[in-house]
Structure 1
């Protein structure tokens, strides 16, 4: 197959791969990885957002990372969500709920939790499903 037959995928000739013993999985290689299928179960409702701070860095969500957010995901206690509070900026936080209270919690101890009261206008934009972290 040439790159002109399929412009989305250019195979690497085996002669350019590192030498060594052949991989037992080589017979199962399909020649293509579709990251959309692998990472995005609901493409019509998934958005990509760039993280701007380190409030969730202890959960490996760091400034500059991209996150996938499923806008139809159902948030529950412990979910990492994208949300706005009282129309403010979008926050990426872990949703915490008990019988009598709710709050948005950052994993970084330098970022205080955001209490959610009956008077708070909380809008959950979606549930974070993946973090894409660039390796420098």
Structure 2
């Protein structure tokens, strides 16, 4: 999403999206014998989409945010009801294009900061058409 057209998807919430949830935590070392037991199902809609009317899925194009674990092809869960805050990762609209960046808010504007050093920061001020479209709440990755 390095200044491309934004493709927006709405979550399908007509039925719960329930998956089994293990009662324990995931260890990065040796498995626990208790991992064979499952607790109640986890509804992914309730977990990932707390504000259905203002939540959207956005597919990432580009690699400007790889330092934050956001890569090409990842799916962002963006909530437009969340108040943008200094340091948040957000989908922003700048001069007719969308981009995803970390936002550094200032009194006279903002800096949009990529987390890949190959990309320069973007300064936005009163001369730019700028809005924070929504705050990124989750990233869905597919490991190949």
Both structures adopt the same fold (TM-score exceeding 0.5): yes
For structure 2, list consecutive stretches of 5 or more residues without a partner in the other structure: 1-16, 21-30
Q: Judging changes above 3 Å, is the alpha-carbon distance between structure 1 residues 119 and 133 closer, same or farther for their aligned structure 2 residues?
A: same
Q: How many positions carry a matched residue from both structures?
A: 118
Q: Please list the CA deviations of residues 26-64 of structure 1 after superposition, one character each: whole Å capped at 9, or x if unmatched.
A: 3x712x221111112111110001000110000000001
1:120 aligns with 128
Q: CA RMSD in A?
A: 2.5
Aligned to 1:23, the other structure's residue is in SS state helix
| TM-score, scaled to structure 2 | 0.72
For structure 1, list consecutive stretches of 5 or more residues without a partner in the other structure: 1-7, 12-19
| TM-score, scaled to structure 1 | 0.76
Say whether 1:41 aligns with 2:50: yes
Task: Please tell me whether the aligned partners of residues 80 and 135 of structure 2 are also in contact (alpha carbons under 8 angstroms).
Answer: yes
The runs of at least 4 aligned residues of structure 1 exceeding 3 Å deviation read: 8-11, 98-101
The whole-number CA distance in structure 1 between the counterparts of 2:19 and 2:114 is 41
Equivalent positions of 1:9-28 (< 5 A) are 23=34, 26=37
Richer in strand (by share): 2
